[in-house]
Structure formats: C-alpha cells, structure tokens
Amino acid sequence: MGSKLCSSLLIIVLQVSCQQPHPQVKYLKGFALGTSYNIQYDGNASEEEIQNGIDTLFYELNRSLSTYLPQSDISKINHGDTTVVVDHHFKAVFEKATEVWKATGGYFDPTVGALVNAYGFGPENAISVIEASQKDSLLRLTGWEKVTLTEQNTILKEYPEIYIDFNALAKGYVVDVIGNFLHKNNSTNYMVEIGGEIVAKGISPKTQQPWKIAIDDPREESQSRFIKTLSLENQALASSGNYRKYRMDPNTGERYVHSINPITGSAYKSNILSTSVKAPNCMTADAWATALMVMPIEEGRALVEEIPHIEALWATAEGNDFSILTSKNW
C-alpha cells in the first residue's frame, strides 16, 4: 500500500534462544505492500496453505485500500468516482480513522493526502514551492468531517478533490487481518510483522517465552543499535519516524521532515525523532503512532494516559541531546 505518512521504524523480532528451530514453528517471509514481511506461527496448517491465503488477502486489501494502484477502490474514489461500493476492509479502516480523528482532535486526519502529495510524500506529483494561497486551497480539502460513509457503503465527499489516504493505518490493519487469518487456521501462537508493524499473540513456540521485540535507534548514525527491547504478548506495536524521509526547500535549503500537521497544513521540523505505540491491535497502534508524531509531546502524552490499553514512547533530540519519554504505564 506504499509508505505511511511517517515512515516505519525498524522493529526486530529477537530470538533469545540458541536452540534449533522448533518443529512446530513455521516461517514465512516475503515482500508486499511496498515493504518486507516476516511471519512466524504454530499449528498444523502448511506453509503453502497459509502462504496462499495470505497472498489472497494482500490482493484483496490492495484492491480496496492502496493509493498506489490506479484501479483500487480508494484510488477511484479519490479521482471522483461516487459509485464505488466499499468492502468490509475499507469500512473497518474508515471507522477506525474516524475514532482516532475524534480522539486526537483532528491531529490524525486521512484527508491530509492532498497535503502529503503537495509536499512530495505521496504517489501524486509534488508542488515545487507551496504558496500561502495554495496552502489555503489545500486546507479547504482537508478535514475528515468533510467525508461521509453512507448507508449504501459509498463515500460522499464535500469537495470532489478531497484526497483520502489510509496509509497511516492500513498497514496495521493488514497485520491484524493476517493475524486473524492465522487464528482461524488454529494457530494460537504467532507473530506477524509487516514493515515494522507487529502483532504478537501467545508466546514464541521456539523459546516458550513472550515474543521479544527491539525498536531501533532513530538516529541516523546509530541504525544498528536499539533504544528499547520489550516483551510482547497479545499486543501490537507500531512505530513511526520522521528522520529518514524529508524534502529540501529549493529556495531556502530548509529541511522538511516527513510530518505534516493537518490542522495548519504545514510540513515542519520537529524534535520528535520517532514514536512507538503499544495497543490491543495493530491498526490502532499504527494510527496513534502517526498522530503522536504531529501532536505536541505533552499534549499527546496526557491524552494517551487517559486512554486504556494504549501506551507510547517518544524518542526526541535537542541539538546533541537524545532522550526517551514514555507514558506512565509503558
């Protein structure tokens, strides 16, 4: 489905045992949605059976949600087709987007897509220099309240040009869908990782311990180091960072990080290098990790601490000073 608004951090699944692979553990690796995936699971289903099922799901999900496929449902909607009847995947992502948009007071907004494209972070052509008048026009096309899912499962937009971009939570949704697929195939212990977004259920069949996950250091000179390792059991984890994808203003040479504030319409420098979120499912973690990249840290931290079952970690930098801040129950 392409890159999310804030590019995913590397999250590593650590194997803390030197044992030979457990005969009940099955492994699948590959490339989909513009990134790599790594799946481990137990159960009697064969790798071929699970792989075929996962490939079918990737096809279905791309056909529904990928802004990088011209004939996907979301691409048709973005280009003005009002007749598209969305499927249950689109509906599930739409409803979660609405939930997080409301909870964050608009900091999470899938209609930021017009701005994403304008700044050159999406599949459409970038505007070389964005003037104030152009930004005002783009903001007119921004606002999740301007998009409605009708009772007929069609999408109604206040302005036809509004561009919907679900890449900030769709990958997390795909992780959840594949996890549910494994569960339906009688796997009780599994880990699904796609481009750094993870859901982990049960325990690692190899180690008989909770899944061990490492979050890498977001500083560019430290990509082989980790800032945190944690155990993940019946939880999901997603991370976002603004340090690897940025644009340079051709006139001023100023660096614009890969974060866009949907309220102001600005791409901006930030001292937040990365955010990581734990949640009951990966779509929720994915959406919140994106929102917290844009929100002021203290505002985001206070909000997270009011919401059950969601915890967050921020990696920040001021000059040469690097620090980590977490919500109280991380």
Rounded distance, CA 148 to CA 99, Å? 13
User: Residue 74 belongs to what H/E stretch?
Assistant: helix 73-78
Reported as type and span, the H/E element at residue 239 is strand 235-241
Residues 283-297, mean pLDDT to the nearest whole number = 95
- What does pLDDT average to over the chain? 86
Q: Report which residue type is found at 39.
A: I
pLDDT score for 136: 87
> Looking at the domain that runs over 11-326, which CATH code has it been given?
3.10.520.10
CA dihedral over 303, 95, 199, 290, signed as positive or negative: negative
Please report the pLDDT score of residue 289 as a whole number: 96
Q: Check residues 104 and 265 and name the one with the higher pLDDT.
A: 104
Which token pair is 45?
Answer: 């289903």
- pLDDT value at 258 more than 70: no
What are 175-184's contacts with CB under 8 Å, separation 24+? 175/199, 175/236, 175/282, 175/283, 175/286, 176/236, 176/281, 176/282, 176/283, 177/57, 177/61, 177/89, 178/39, 178/54, 178/57, 179/282, 181/50, 181/53, 181/54, 181/57, 182/39, 182/41, 182/43, 182/50
Work out the average pLDDT over 93-99: 98
Q: What is the mean pLDDT of residues 270-295?
A: 93
* pLDDT tens per residue, range 113-150: 788 778 776 656 666 567 888 888 889 999 999 999 99
Greatest mean pLDDT among 219-233, 235-249, 269-283:
269-283
Does the pLDDT at position 292 exceed 90? yes
Non-local (6+) Cβ contacts of 59 within 8 A are none
Q: Which of 5-9, 73-77, 158-162 has the lowest mean pLDDT?
A: 5-9
Would you give the DSSP letter of residue 242?
A: S
Domain boundaries, the chain: 11-326
Overall pTM surpassing 0.85 (yes/no): yes
d(CA 6, CA 259): 6
DSSP 251: T
